[in-house]
Amino acid sequence: MIMEAKQLTGSQAVLEAFIAEGVDTIFGYPGGAIMPIYDALYDYHEKLKHILVRHEQGGIHAGQGYARTSGKVGVVFATSGPGATNLVTGLADAMIDSTPLVCITGQVYAHLLGTDAFQETDIINITMPVTKWNYQITDATEIPHILAKAFYLAKSGRPGPVLIDISKNAQLQKFDYPGYTTCNHVRSYRPKPLIRKEYIDAAVALINGAKKPMIIFGQGVILGTAEKEFKKFVEKSGIPAAWTILGLSALPTDHPLNVGMLGMHGNYGPNVLTNECDVLIAVGMRFDDRVTGRLDKYAKQAKIIHLDIDPSEIDKNVKADVGVWGDCKETLPLLTFGIEQKVRTEWVNLFKDYAQKEYDQCIKDEIYPKTEEMTMGEVIRIVNEVSKGEAIMVTDVGQHQMVTCRYAQFNQSRSNVTSGGLGTMGFGLPAAIGAKFGALDRTVVAVIGDGGFQMTLQELGTIMQTGVDVKILILNNQFLGMVRQWQQLFHDKRYSFVDIQSPDYIMLAKSYGIAGEKVEKRENLATAVKTMLESKGSFLLEVMVGKENNVFPMVPQGCSVSEIRLK
């Protein structure tokens, strides 16, 4: 007896692929060109949870937040034309921050392609520079293997966003469904470069001979799920380790060898001592300009060891003496096995001396201010005291982002979600929604400035409709604070269009059924933070902080990291 092949529409095949890939949550917004997929989703709602966002940009940022906290691939739906183009900012953000996404966009019927049909855009060529891979499907029979390839490429090697554009006829087309086979190989694509023993041996020799070595670690440790391997390497080597903002939380913030944040608003010691160490070991980071400052004055005295899964990053910005290709989950244990166990008391104490100087001249007044005005730093200090380092902190972009990254305390990995490379204002609120869906058992706090919040505040509607529990902390300085700081320091206080007015956020939250409170006096702050964190359901807390407070330390643009200013 010959069994008849199972017939599915292209739309059903898309959803079957999601189920096979273990997808449980989709963020999206329907429209004409993707309507057949949404029609099919009606019959799959018990297997696939769909979150209706209020804007496609909110959807893709939510997908990013979900991916960052869950470790899974974020999935996003959008329709053609403006729906698809509204994803571009999030795709660029995910691309530079190596966030795994699979975005499905609807497209006009295949026979209309190139005719300037209603809501037609060439989303493939538009998104080619900001995706790891993209592809347009016009025949439903391609859907199973193209979706399998999409998920494989998004999550393997150095992760990134993938966009699959599906014409409406392909969504409607019925075909003999062959079943779904996951992908684990793509010709000419090598997600993990071969580990070369000679490079491991060369790195081990440099580390063992070093007198003043320093580690800088980035998000590669987290993406490679190599936190345990990294901790063992740090502890056996005895080397002080500093982080980029995307590497934050890979090593607990209270670890004795965690010496703080690198870069423009990083900590004093690791920045200055970058230009004094003799061996610099970079793990899963890309030497971004915000970390290095002037490249011609960056760590010129040091031998550079660079561990990365992406060979194109090695020697791209900083020339490595030893480039260790490979997944750091595999390369770090090889280094740990080969290196000598050491205690570097004198060198580590030098970082502590710089940390004390920074505390006395900069941090103390930020987290324990003597002025009447509240500071962002003291708010984050109180959040730490109540959360005890267990919360996920999602930040938007600006002064509050730098302050939160500097002062937030984390006990576990995947606790810091922020827009690193692209610096996308408006990221915070939708990313926090996605972060919560990716980690339902954890408290999620969105720390957002008054400027960034107004870019995507419509996503309060997503919170209202889903009932998702997100704590929203608006640090309101009545300015576009980071731009104002630069205008003050480098443009003679010519405050050009940075004075921003805000709505009544508490009334706004109430209109969406979200409880809220505004704090203008210090005596009410600690109680309000406790109320926010202990509330059942979402809560919006607005704290009025000093209008012209600046974030220090700071490496001025065009300066070396050792020229960092404490004031």
Structure tokens at 219: 């998000």
**Most distant CA atoms of the chain, gap in Å:** 85
Rounded Cα distance between 305 and 551, Å, is 31
Rounded Cα distance between 72 and 372, Å, is 45
Task: Name the catalytic one among 49, 118, 228, 390.
Answer: 118
Task: Name the catalytic one among 72, 119, 235, 276.
Answer: 119
- The number of CA neighbours under 13 Å toward the Cβ of 217 is 30
Which amino acid appears at position 292 of this protein?
T
Task: Name the catalytic one among 132, 168, 329, 471.
Answer: 168
Rounded Cα distance between 465 and 338, Å, is 54
What is the rounded end-to-end Cα distance, in angstroms, of the chain?
A: 82
User: Is 119 an annotated catalytic residue?
Assistant: yes
Q: Beta partners for 28?
A: 52, 77
DSSP class of residue 479?
B
Task: Name the catalytic one among 16, 21, 56, 142.
Answer: 56
Cα angle value 51/56/59 (rounded, 5°) = 40
User: Is 47 an annotated catalytic residue?
Assistant: no
User: Is 56 an annotated catalytic residue?
Assistant: yes
Structure tokens at 378: 């003291």
Task: Name the catalytic one among 374, 482, 532, 554.
Answer: 482
User: Is 261 an annotated catalytic residue?
Assistant: no
User: Is 482 an annotated catalytic residue?
Assistant: yes
Q: Are 484 and 498 in contact (CB under 8 A)?
A: yes
Q: Tokens 């490595």 belong to which residue?
A: 320
3-state secondary structure of 476: strand
**From residue 306, how far is each of 156, 212, 222, 285, 310 by CA, in Å?**
20, 17, 16, 8, 11
Active site residues: 56, 118-119, 168, 482
